[in-house]
Chains A and B, each alone.
Chain A
Amino acid sequence: MNISKNWLAAYIDLDGLDTGEMADMLTFAGVEVEAMHERGVTTDQVVVAQVVQKSPVEGSDHLNVCMVDAGEGSLRQIVCGAQNYQVGDKVPCALPGAVLPGGWQIKEGKMMGHASCGMLCSASELGLPDKEHGLWILPQDYKVGTPVRQFTGTDTLFELEITPNRPDLLSHWGMARELAGITGRTLKADPGENPLSTESAGERILLSAPDICPLYTATRISGVKIGPSPEWLAERLLAIGLHPINNVVDITNYCLFELGHPLHAFDASQVQGELDIRLAHRGESFTSLMDDDFELQENDLVISDSSGRALALAGVMGGKNSGVTENTSDIILESAWFLPGSVRRTSRRLGLSSDSSYRFERGAAPWNTLRAAARAVQLILECAGGKAEPTLVAGQAPALVPEGQAQQATVLQQGTAAKVYCALPQVQLDWKELDVMTNASIPHMEAARILRNLGLKETTPGCWDCPPWRLDLKRSCDLLEEVVRVYGIANIPPTRTAIYAPESSHDRLHDFRCNISRHLAGAGFWEVQTFKLIAEQSADPTIASVQYALPIKPLQQGDVIRVALPLSEDHTVLRPSLAPGLLAVAARNLNQGLDVLRFFECGRVFRNTGGGKGKDIESEVLGILMAGKLAPSSWDHLKPQSAGAQHLTAIVERLLPKSHITVLPAKIARDAAAISADILANGQTCGFMARVALSVCRALDLPMDCYYAELDLRKLQQLSTASFKVKDLPLYPASGRDATLEVPVNMQHADIMKAVESAKQKLLESCRLKEIFCDPSGGKLAEGRKAMTYSFLYRNSAATLTAADVDAAHGELLKALTAKLPDIRYR
């Protein structure tokens, strides 16, 4: 919210208070000053000057070279781009050396070859409200050479961030009251205290939705003369960035920014019969003052009349059909209280917000309703003339004090026949609570003084009456907050306490994740963090999209969890796998010319267990992607190998050095075009691996083999952190034998390993693949066959093996393999 210091000074004595000091006071009391703008001319180097000559700059469509008389005895040449002045006009001229608002220093210079010794200024360039576009044309009676500051005032505009719990600060009077509370400075006369004659509305105002609008007042003022606002009022509105419209509308705006309570003025000639504050009909149409059409719903509150038309959207905006115009002579002034949630709902749904809705949705004080009406009536009579009838009051102030809490009743403005009661909370405060919260660093006398300055009254010891404008004060902690923020947290000494913190399973997972990430980074993988909300389908390969979750696509429709109202098509579902994100990262980086694509991510994936009807589960997984070259080419290695499944398997094996890793073809083939496999550690599935389908790679502009593995992080953690005992070193030597198996090309290593394991040869210690040989020409090996050479290592832990023992064991093994594997031969 914008606050003008000059306007503020009408309500509080600010003498001797530096603006910077004031800004700090507000900021450290919880009212953050986001920006300060100095308004007006503070330097003597901006003077009145008369334009004597004006000629266009050749080659420019808007620049003119002007000769101006700035009262210096000789003329000054200035190049100017504005269009709204004539020879003979008097305008402000900033001389070289002048510093304008915003720290802008004026220097002599050249523009398109013409010397320019100063600048002719607009009002906004001097930090003043801009009334015209272009140069600020000064009255002819101003003498050339006179500093412009003699004719203009200065002001400071504060841009404040008001937290949602403090709607009472959304006005100049409210801010003055707060500043008085913080600083102890004296408040001047309350502009809201004005006499007002009231009477009960009776049948003339119907409260058809009393839960949403429990209190409504209307004042008819007849014979007003619509015209421009007086200068002082227009100046104040301009100072906070509002453009004056006419006296009645300006006064309603003025009262809002003065007292904080929104008002609305209807053209009385457009209102027929009684007012009805009712809920809208479904589909009812409404045209706002700004000429926008809206279709209303049953929970929107409108102000209607006996004709049934909606004249205003309650608390949000007036209607076009009943607004005050130049021809208006009688008005009805509304001051009411609307339920915050209702105003917010309507304002947000229609995308229509106003200074009024902003205040109502944060909670206007019912106490202010008649104060604002009285102030507006007073100003309208003063500025627009006319005659006011007694204010009609319908309903009562809402009960805002929680049930069961102590309260005191205050009677608001009373007239001939209307009494409005307002209940205010009473809060019990035990100083012990303050001592605990602040380590007894705030004296109780000081705390009590702070509360009194803020308008609270201690009626009996420990029992505080809260002021009617502070709807946020309900409990003792609310009062403690007031004491702490005004006393200043800077004055509370810091203390440090700690307790013994047991390690949790999350601690261990975090450590594991850090270790594994460092390990992979060291092994030449980039850690990435991709978006958890991904597209269902996307044409852009760099947008992660669940369609690329192949071959791990959800088992059935509905397994993928979709947000109800996505921000865009690119972020509609929660990722069921890290693959789409990692593939998109690979595509993006390939596009940047990277040919070594090695990425990993640790993070959460989401899936419903039963097609949308089951539980939503979240699991921590590790995704690793390898594509392109294994390493960058260099002068000593011109053509590095391309990444293959075996390289990804090696990485997985390195992550789990203590486990026996097997990669088996997936039990259920998830996509015909891809190769997918399960990763088992010690026989237990802990993840999967895949060569991404070539069609998917083409769609992603990744014209290469992409290998991807996804592992369950918690399973990895269990496997890696399992305790173990050191094995004794072998006492007796091992002995090796090689065997070359000629098998059909479609026989897989896993098949052979399974056969080796099932042979259960006791002396066999290990077996490793040594060589694969294929001969597509069919010369050395028949087509459709391949030769796989394995090294078998035999050892007896209790004795040295003889050659005969080894030969016998090896022979038995080969015989067993022949029996178990179809169509194999030894070479």
Chain B
Amino acid sequence: MMRSPSLTKVGLWYSFSASHMKEQIAQVQAAAMQTIADAASMKELEQARVAILGKKGTLTQVQQGMKDVPKEDKPAVGALLNAARVEITSAMDRRMAELQALADASAIAGIDITLPGATLPAGGLHPISLVREEAVHILRRMGFTLADGPEIEDEWHCFDALNTPADHPARNEKDTFYFDSGKLLRTQTSTVQARVMEKQSPPVRIICPGSAFRRDAIDATHLSAFNQIEGLYVDREVSVGDLKGTLEYFLKALFGDDTAVRFRPHFFPFTEPSFEIDVLLRAAGQDPRWIEIAGCGMVNPAVFENIDCKSGKNFYQGCTGFAFGIGLERLAMIRWGIRDIRLLIENDVRFLAQFQ
């Protein structure tokens, strides 16, 4: 560190003093420039700043000699001093920028941005939820309201109201789960039709996603508990055309606009006429094939009569309507090519992870 010369206030030495000041400034400046250039780190540079420009810094001390400089010399010496300060300061700023850039560069030197990601716990929704949400989303956009009913049902809502003959095989205890109380696990979500209509006057436009149960042994294509979406629209003058237009729109929204949809006459006790709906499935490398996807039909007038008779309200005289039901497991299996329905209840993460 440079030692500042001690200046004494001796009149005769004024002129000497001015020239001495100039010399001093030059010396301090040169030394400062060297120090700045030598600073190897931002910390050293900061120390140099204090040593040069601080309260006791070399340039500050030289500056203190100004008071002894003869008046006529002051502007010149002052200008010199200022120039020195400006030069030192800008050198420091430059050096600081250089050092900052070096430090920034070394700060990223060890970073390997290509390292594999750290692991977070993975999660996702079940495929049945995914298809249910999508189907519900489309149908609600079409003006259907959600409804629901109990899964432990009575025979009236499950069979009688829906025009199922008293000796129909579905009522057999080998096909349906009964309880000792005489109640049963609903065999179809159509029970909700009866539940809603006995309370609500038309128009009724509802869907019900829910579970249904049948006493089928579990294998690759059967579950004894499965999920359906039921739909019902009842009003004055609802037609087969409405049924067709509604379900064509729904299935195209679900499977794609270019999906071909066809209706085949079928039989269900609670609708007449009844239809099964097929969609034309196109899979890469395979011939397109028709796949049965849903059942539907015009509500059988006997259903309206049964409900009106039970509720005593005569809501549905002169009404027409359509109903449909679609199996969610089947929908998921078709959509994702799932070959074994049991995968949907086993909940193996290797399976679930494919739907993330």
Contacts and interface: CB of A to CB of B under 8 A. Distances in A.
Interface string B60-86: 000000000000000000000000000
Interface stretch (B27-35, B37-45, B46-54, B122-130): B122-130
Given A564-B178, A618-B152, A477 B272 contact: yes
A285 interface: no
B118 A636 contact: yes
B263 A27 contact: no
Given A506-B148, A616-B152, A475 B143 contact: no
Contact of A532 (B145, B173, B179, B225): B225
B144 interface: yes
B250 to A, nearest CB: 10
Contacts of B124: 521, 526-527
B241 A493 contact: yes
A484 B273 CA distance: 7
Interface string A20-42: 00000001111010000000000
Contacts, number: 242
Contact of A563 (B116, B179, B352): B179
Contacts of A606: 151-152
Nearest to A582: B347
A478 B241 CA distance: 18
A498 B240 contact: no
B181 to A, nearest CB: 8
Interface in B199-219: 203, 205, 208-209, 211, 213, 215-218
B166 interface: yes
Nearest to A442: B240
Given A30-B265, A477-B300, A594-B349, A522 B140 contact: no
A563 B177 CA distance: 6
Interface in A476-521: 477-478, 480-481, 484-485, 489-490, 492-504, 506-507, 509-510, 514, 517-518, 520-521
A4 B350 CA distance: 48
B235 to A, nearest CB: 7
Interface string B321-356: 000000000000000000000001111111010000
Contact of A495 (B181, B239, B344, B345): B239
B185 to A, nearest CB: 7
B346 to A, nearest CB: 7
A522 B275 CA distance: 41
A626 to B, nearest CB: 10
A492 to B, nearest CB: 5
A528 B126 contact: yes
B266 A163 contact: yes
A521 B115 contact: no
A436 B237 contact: yes
Nearest to A629: B121
A432 B88 CA distance: 104
Contacts of A517: 125, 129
Interface in A527-582: 527-533, 561-567, 571, 574
Nearest to A520: B123
Nearest to B276: A32
B133 interface: yes
Contacts of A477: 272, 298, 300-301
Contacts of B172: 348
Contact of B224 (A492, A509, A567): A567
Interface string B74-104: 0000000000000000000000000000000
Interface string A205-228: 000000000000000000000000
B241 A29 contact: no
Contacts of B215: 565, 567
B121 A530 contact: no
B205 to A, nearest CB: 6
A599 interface: yes
Contacts of A506: 145-148, 208
Interface in A588-613: 588-589, 592, 594, 596, 598-599, 604, 606
Main secondary structure of the interface of B (DSSP, over half): mixed
B224 A524 contact: no
B180 interface: yes
A341 interface: yes
B281 interface: no
A565 B173 contact: yes
A28 to B, nearest CB: 6
Most chain B CB neighbours (cut-off 10 Å) among A490, A524, A592: A524
Interface residues of B, number: 88
Nearest to B215: A567
B244 to A, nearest CB: 4
Interface string B221-232: 000110000000
B157 interface: no
B32 to A, nearest CB: 45
A524 B120 contact: yes
Contacts of A632: 119, 121-122
B260 to A, nearest CB: 11
A559 to B, nearest CB: 14
B350 to A, nearest CB: 7
A166 interface: yes
Contacts of B125: 517-518, 521, 527
Given A484-B273, A503-B145, A436 B167 contact: no
Given A438-B241, A567-B224, A631-B120, A504 B265 contact: no
A564 B345 contact: no
Interface in B259-302: 262-267, 272-276, 298, 300-302
Most chain A CB neighbours (cut-off 10 Å) among B117, B241, B272: B241
A301 to B, nearest CB: 14
Interface string B292-320: 00000010111000000000000000001
B119 A631 contact: yes
Nearest to A343: B167
A760 interface: no
A604 B115 CA distance: 44
Given A564-B179, A589-B348, A606-B152, A501 B144 contact: yes
Given A492-B241, A496-B242, A510-B146, A526 B169 contact: no
Contact of A514 (B133, B180, B244, B302): B133
B240 A348 contact: no
Given A437-B240, A565-B177, A510 B136 contact: yes
Given A30-B266, A501-B143, A530-B345, A564 B246 contact: no
Contacts of A439: 239-241
B183 interface: yes
Contact of A564 (B143, B173, B218, B248): B173
B115 A635 contact: yes
B245 interface: yes
Nearest to A478: B272
Nearest to B297: A481
Contacts of B244: 489, 492, 494-495
16 contacts: A27-B264, A30-B267, A164-B267, A441-B241, A484-B265, A489-B263, A489-B275, A490-B263, A496-B246, A497-B238, A501-B144, A526-B347, A527-B124, A533-B177, A564-B178, A592-B348
Interface of A: 27-30, 32, 163-166, 340-341, 344-345, 348, 436-439, 441, 475, 477-478, 480-481, 484-485, 489-490, 492-504, 506-507, 509-510, 514, 517-518, 520-533, 561-567, 571, 574, 585, 588-589, 592, 594, 596, 598-599, 604, 606, 616, 618, 630-637
Interface of B: 115-126, 128-129, 133, 136, 140, 142-148, 150-152, 166-167, 169, 172-174, 177-181, 183, 185, 203, 205, 208-209, 211, 213, 215-218, 224-225, 235, 237-242, 244-246, 248-249, 262-267, 272-276, 298, 300-302, 320, 344-350, 352
* Among all A-B residue pairs, the 4 with the closest Cβ atoms: A524-B121, A30-B265, A341-B167, A163-B267
Given A489-B275, A529-B344, 13 more contacts: A163-B266, A348-B174, A475-B301, A490-B263, A494-B245, A496-B245, A499-B235, A521-B124, A524-B120, A527-B129, A528-B126, A532-B213, A604-B211
